[in-house]
């Protein structure tokens, strides 16, 4: 019932024209119901990003589109990239709260909530407050629809200047580590289960912290499982030596990133694996430093390890081999995209793959890949 795909629109004379054309290009998808859209744009600085995000918001309003959306400062090689979530059968409930569009739908797996664009409007807001603001928006949206953070199955964390460090009071604070410390604070308050969503934590050139999420209240037929990679340390068990900077609390320790390597959602008829942002890490160490080919191949191998029949069976899941149906690829250096694209096409064939430029969560990582795997018979229908 659900499908993720994308299309691109070239930059035109003005950004307004580019956005107008991009939104009108959604028309072929309206045979289905558009659930949510993530728009990847180039932006020179915070002010440029805010201006462009406001143009996109006004254009959605012009066409009376109330879909959930977020705007991300990650340029693609083809202008503006529009990644859309589609629902082909069930009508959706489009709603708004706290100035945020969101969508409820009844899927084969249960009741789902799509919350995109949990973000502040003020680029001058201190980074820590931006992170807290996004988590507060997320919690408030979940609460009013009778969901909890335990129901979140997939989360995207977009972090401006993710590797940036700030020195203060003789300590060094990294943006990504600040995000991780605050994430653990909110999970500690609002989560009851000791499991986490599949997630991506990725950099943006500029803008404000943004969280997108999908939450699910499963029906009685739906099985959910966390998937581990036997070749990697669980991200939430990383040691202090691979985390950068100082903890927010002087007497505390740096908090590890709280996410599962992948999340399985399945019924007797349908199944999907949400693959978290995956990089060239074995154990907890980066492999192939300064070598984009090694890193891309190692990343693909990690994803294969997560999604193969043996790993699913180990998690108590009795289904045939799943296959990739959609990928999003983040590449640190835009000049590396052609080689990454070549490797991915050889491994994954002609499935939709979106490539964007973004800093990864470690300075020595050059590529990260996320996506969905499904049973071949249920492609585009999970």
Which candidate, 362, 369, 358, places its Cα nearest to that of 298? 369
| Residue 155, strand partner residues | 199, 213
* C-alpha span between 268 and 72 (Å, rounded): 36
Q: Which two tokens stand for residue 41?
A: 């744009």
**pLDDT under 70 in the chain at which residues?**
1, 30-32, 89, 251, 377-382
* C-alpha span between 333 and 359 (Å, rounded): 8
The C-alpha angle 364, 366, 372, rounded to 5 degrees, equals 125
Give the pLDDT confidence score for residue 378 in this predicted structure: 58
Which candidate, 73, 160, 75, 8, places its Cα nearest to that of 356? 75
Give the pLDDT confidence score for residue 231 in this predicted structure: 96
* C-alpha span between 266 and 218 (Å, rounded): 10
Total domains present in the chain = 1
Domain that holds residue 38: 2-378
* C-alpha span between 156 and 12 (Å, rounded): 29
* C-alpha span between 369 and 355 (Å, rounded): 9
Tell how far CA 189 is from the center of its chain.
Answer: 22
332: domain CATH number is: 3.30.1330.40
User: Sign of the CA dihedral 116, 122, 127, 129?
Assistant: negative
Alpha helices in the chain (DSSP H): 15-24, 46-62, 127-144, 175-190, 292-307, 309-314, 337-348
CB 354 within 8 A of CB 76: yes
Give the pLDDT confidence score for residue 258 in this predicted structure: 98
Give the pLDDT confidence score for residue 320 in this predicted structure: 83
Give the pLDDT confidence score for residue 377 in this predicted structure: 63
Q: Count other Cβ atoms within 10 Å, centred on residue 291.
A: 13
Residue 229 buriedness (CB in 10 A; 0-12 / 13-18 / 19+): buried
Phi, psi of 223 (to 5 degrees): -105, 135
CB 289 within 8 A of CB 360: no
């Amino acid at each position: 019932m659900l499908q993720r795909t994308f299309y691109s629109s070239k930059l035109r004379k003005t950004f307004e024209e580019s956005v107008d054309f991009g939104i009108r290009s959604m028309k072929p998808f309206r045979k289905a119901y558009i659930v949510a859209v993530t728009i990847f744009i180039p932006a020179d600085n915070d002010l440029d990003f805010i201006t462009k995000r406001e143009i996109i918001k006004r254009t959605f309003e012009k066409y009376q589109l109330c879909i959930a959306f977020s705007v991300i400062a990650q340029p693609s090689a083809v202008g503006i990239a529009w990644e859309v979530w589609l629902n082909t059968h069930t009508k959706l409930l489009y709603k708004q709260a706290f100035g945020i569009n969101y969508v409820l739908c009844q899927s084969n797996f249960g009741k789902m909530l799509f919350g995109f664009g949990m973000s502040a409007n003020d680029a001058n807001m201190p980074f820590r407050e931006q992170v807290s603001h996004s988590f507060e928006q997320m919690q408030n949206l979940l609460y009013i629809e009778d969901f909890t953070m335990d129901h979140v199955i997939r989360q995207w964390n977009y972090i401006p200047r993710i590797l940036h460090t700030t020195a203060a009071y003789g300590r060094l604070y990294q943006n990504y580590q600040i995000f991780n410390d605050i994430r653990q604070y909110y999970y500690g308050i609002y989560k009851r289960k000791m499991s986490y969503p599949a997630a991506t934590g990725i950099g943006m050139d500029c803008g404000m912290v943004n969280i997108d999420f999908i939450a699910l209240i499963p029906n009685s037929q739906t099985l959910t499982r966390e998937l581990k990679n036997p070749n990697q340390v669980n991200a939430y068990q990383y040691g202090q030596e691979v985390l950068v900077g100082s903890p927010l609390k002087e007497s505390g320790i740096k908090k590890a990133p709280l996410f599962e390597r992948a999340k399985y959602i399945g019924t007797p008829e349908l199944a999907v694996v949400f693959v978290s942002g995956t990089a060239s890490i074995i154990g907890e160490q980066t492999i192939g430093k300064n070598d984009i080919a090694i890193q891309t191949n190692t990343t693909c191998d990690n994803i294969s390890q997560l999604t193969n029949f043996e790993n699913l069976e180990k998690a108590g899941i009795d289904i045939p081999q799943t296959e990739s149906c959609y990928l999003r690829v983040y590449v640190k250096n835009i000049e590396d995209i052609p080689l990454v694209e070549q490797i991915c096409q050889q491994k994954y064939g002609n499935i939709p793959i979106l490539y964007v430029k973004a800093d990864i969560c470690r300075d020595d990582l050059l590529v990260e890949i996320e996506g969905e795997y499904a049973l071949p018979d249920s492609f585009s229908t999970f």
